[in-house]
Structure 1
């Protein structure tokens, strides 16, 4: 059967097909232009499982929509945004599409193939940096209860704009499709639709369908070894004991090798249980490895101050941790650098060497002085901020142990230089946290540690008088909260927890902004007019609510004009009606929405920004009788 979807075709008067990107077991993938977003490129993924009967198709689409709903909640700069899902009919055939952001760049598979053609592979420093950049993305999705299931060089893109790895093609959709075909298809083989790739996915995932967080860690480590060796897992795995025999092919530092071995342990119980554990181990040696290589050129004096982390690592790095490589080209490069350094030292009378060592010694002394001053400085800042130490210090501990779980239960002291380094890290986290809390009002900060559910009940009463729903209020509060603490998982009930205290402090300021009308505005239609346009500027993490009284049985049309994918619109019906209705749209980055009003009252239009820059926007609201609704 010929594919009726072709380049130039426009779907739903919005998406213009540019070209087909691929064709999988459950449909095609297309590159398209979004006409509602200034022809911005996007990806359309078709869901078309080979099932028989209308009931089977309807059931499969319901499962697909549910899985896509989970992916829609993912908001991370290194995950393509899931914009929307839509149905489309063409020549009597129905289509279901998932719309995602388009990522400009090359997959790590393509990057590896380019290097193989040149006779090279990825270096240890490159894959270490790659791990430190991609692991926080895994930590984010795992905190939300999402497992990728299909990590490989094909499903990670190096984004051209910022050179960061981006995680694509989540396996949950494939799993849903596989279940559908398995249940409803007749005579169709599932061999080509395994969940995960052989060699990348662990044995328990391929054979039993068992997945957890360390399934992704296993696949990521396998990906790293492929990048280092240029060989597929099937070549590296011993079929008898399922272990990776990579040491015969490459030589890397024991630190990284041990981390990879633990990530790839055949038994799930022998692997790391969380991403945070891997990050902590990598951070302990990654900076020292990078700086050890830098010491080969001692005449180069850093132009920026060296951090305490770097100072400690430079002075304590054993020579055995310096990465060893068997690549002849790299050996030649190292000897060339050493020769250049020696010539430079002698020609400059050793000035560079002396200056470099003086700088390290000076900064090492400065580190101890700063650590000694930290308690006094922090205490002074806390006093001015109005935050109680009894609330703040345990909160810092939570952040510290989340980042460095290996230190949990240990007392931080000043006895050794290493102890001082850990104390330095604790104070750095404390300062970063205090910087964020100082963006709140003094009244909100003073109550940290003392908020309760009574405050929430009081806010609900105040919101009712303002004709605002709790959902709209939460949108504004969440915008500021997740701007300050983007690493926190969404959808988790944190009331009663320390982070819940911060959310309630932000909610206190949100309520003040609504009551003062700084973040609340009523749209009043001019007599004889059915359309109004308002505009404003949103600061980072800011939002605004617009109210408009609209009669029932009207055609409502809302247009948001903004040149940013990080501004989101929600529309809520009158609060008294919400017991029988959900939000009309919620947290959507869309240009136009149109629908019918079912009740009279104040409709709420919420605009929030997750951008780190000020954003200007225009919001148009129009409502007319259905009899005369062409606009």
Structure 2
């Protein structure tokens, strides 16, 4: 018999009357007539089962038959009023909202895939497709604990805050308000145990707008705000007037934390007469967390934190010493120049990844080689100061990296008149330019400090004063900062925005993306290395991925992923009909590269010839990655028998300081089959011998072309 799912997607055995997890009456659920398991929508999405239902439609788990039956989530919307005007406006608004969702590129937000419209049994539907997140909602996790008499601990909710607040900082920086944060809309992802934010209220806003404004066109030129959000979780002003702001999401997040801590619903924790929260009667928290939650839940919006970064700073209080470039001008000058015995604790950056330790996915099979930059669990410690970064590795197979902070040189801030007008203007220009490039301030300071210390090792253990005696050193710091902004400007806006927030999950996501066009991570890293070392040649041969400069390497690799998928640095070699060789040529800019792939067969002989100067490096990888014929090599020829079937990769990368030409010739031939002579019949009295043909070269099959005429 078919399993039964409640409107929230909880699975129940056949014949159940009530949901075993949330208690919903399953007999009251509407019968699904049109969309059933097994139905294929849009010639692509096969319905597996319904996993949710709300006031605006149902949600389904589906398989994408165009992507190896990969799971994804399909959300349905079918307007009750089926007029041409309503459908047109609904699609227009959905398209607008889809553009917003498409811009949200964050590892803790399901990726938007597609929006499509179709007619099913005479009724028009709009469908939105997103990535499927395997895991459990925090509501399900809480219900499971309640059955055992347990609830979430302060340590656990602190980690949740540390991991989800950067996500809110990111979406808010993109001008998006979630509107509907609750335990139901947070999933603990199985793969990496990170919280994922789902079910953005923007789509609901679109649906509600269609329902309220466009059923009768022209009636309301300025419709009243649509009220969205869960009662008890959304702040009062959101439920009363529809007004939302970043602090609205922070309010709902604080309520979510209280629900997880107390196992009680909001209505059981809120005094309806005084509108004050009575969580203190249910749980005892540390003073810092208690104060933070109370401020997030302040009745007056102006009394709340206005950004997720403010909450993160409040959760991680620490004295912060700013270098003068980023000095808050109202801050009083430091009273003395002292030795800083340790860097300040990590100050959470804006917008991307979890800032507290969390499980990291295992290393990729056949990762980078000792000749390359190797990965391990990436631990970026935001240090406001010029820091010595110590580390230990156990081996190249993916051992842990231990980041050991050592004494740092910090540069106190002077907001007084001791700085010359020229220095103040210089710092203001740097600050403006950093903001224009969209680079996180905390990351920027860490990066400049690291490079400045590398250039001035004698300053270790010494604080730069704000007086004239260190004016030249402060100018050197500013010069370093200016040079780094020049170098970071070559990155895309998206890559710059995420600096300081890349993690191993980005690496895994990139691998999946390039694998879709039969490119492996090694070739991707070859291109990323070339671009990075072209701008930061002094980092070649160093272990730097656990340092701020390592985040810049991630940024270059991120841009190469985009370029590969766009086809600007990627080409599939297809042999002409009847041919066994192909020649490709082009120009590589400084730090540029290209990945070429060719589908070849086991047993074929590969002949390779590259015409380029010695500053062009060549790598050749087998489909499985088990064989590296060449790697970052200046060798120009290769002749070998191929060990397996599949797509072979040829990565060309330039280390030259100017543009260079290249020409790559690839020949792949199959071995000629061994001919066995036909035996001559023995003459008999009843038959005369027939002449036996002698094998000649013309009997030998010609080499066969080795390609499939398909587009990756």
TM-score scaled by length of structure 2 = 0.46
Alignment of structure 1 residues 20-419 onto 2, 5 Å? 20-185=50-215, 194-284=227-317, 308-309=343-344, 370-372=407-409
Cα shift readout 1:544-588 (whole Å, capped 9, x = no counterpart): 699xxxxxxxxxxxxxxx99xxxxxxxxxxxxxxxxxxxxxxxxx
**How far apart in 1 are the matches of 2:450 and 2:57?**
46
Cα deviation for residue 119 of structure 1 reads 1.1
Residue by residue over 1:381-419, the C-alpha shift from the partner in whole angstroms, topping out at 9 and shown as x without a partner, is xxxxxxxx9899869997999667xxxxxxxxxxxxxxx
Deviations 1:447-468 (A, max 9, x none): 656699xx9xxxxxxxxxxxxx
Conserved 8 A contact 1:22-1:28: yes
- Is contact 2:110–2:197 with CA below 8 Å preserved after alignment? yes
TM-score computed with the length of structure 1 as normaliser:
0.52
1:89 deviates by: 3.0
Shift of 1:83: 0.8
RMSD: 4.9
Any gaps of 5 or more consecutive residues in structure 1? 187-192, 286-305, 313-365, 376-388, 405-424, 436-443, 456-473, 488-501, 535-540, 547-561, 564-617, 624-631
Larger Rg: 2
Give the drift of 1:620. Answer: 6.9
Residues 62 and 71, structure 2, Cα contact 8 Å, conserved in 1: yes
Distance in structure 2 (CA, Å) of the matches to 1:207 and 1:373: 49
The answer to whether the 8 A contact 2:97-2:203 is kept is yes
| 1:105-132 alpha-carbon deviations (Å, 9 max, x no partner) | 1111111111111112111111111100
CA separation in 2, counterparts of 1:65 and 1:518?
28
Aligned in 2, Cα 1:434/1:397: closer, same or farther, shift over 3 Å? farther
User: What is residue 519 of structure 1 aligned with on the other side?
Assistant: 569
For residues 181 and 451 of structure 2, what CA distance do their matches in structure 1 show?
A: 33
Deviations 1:347-385 (A, max 9, x none): xxxxxxxxxxxxxxxxxxx96x6325999xxxxxxxxxx
> What is the Cα deviation at residue 310 of structure 1?
6.7
Q: For residues 248-299 of structure 1, give each alpha carbon's deviation from its aligned partner in whole angstroms, at most 9, with x where no partner exists.
A: 22111111000000000000000011111101111228xxxxxxxxxxxxxx
1:16 equivalent in alignment to 2:66: no
Secondary structure, aligned partner of 2:35: coil
User: 2:227, 2:123 → 1: CA distance?
Assistant: 28
Partner Cα separation in structure 1 for residue 124 and residue 82 of structure 2: 14
Q: Does the 8 Å CA contact 1:396/1:430 hold for their aligned counterparts?
A: no
The verdict on how the C-alpha distance between 1:449 and 1:396 changes in structure 2, with shifts beyond 3 A counting, is closer
CA contact (8 A) 1:107 1:156 kept: yes
Runs of 5+ in structure 2 lacking a partner? 1-30, 217-225, 319-340, 348-403, 413-425, 454-479, 503-551, 585-590, 597-622, 625-706
Higher-helix-fraction structure: 1
CA contact (8 A) 2:259 2:265 kept: yes
**Is the CA contact 1:18–1:30 (under 8 Å) kept in the aligned structure 2?**
yes
Q: Distance in 2 between matches of 1:21 and 1:129?
A: 28
For 1:86, what is the secondary structure of its paired residue? strand
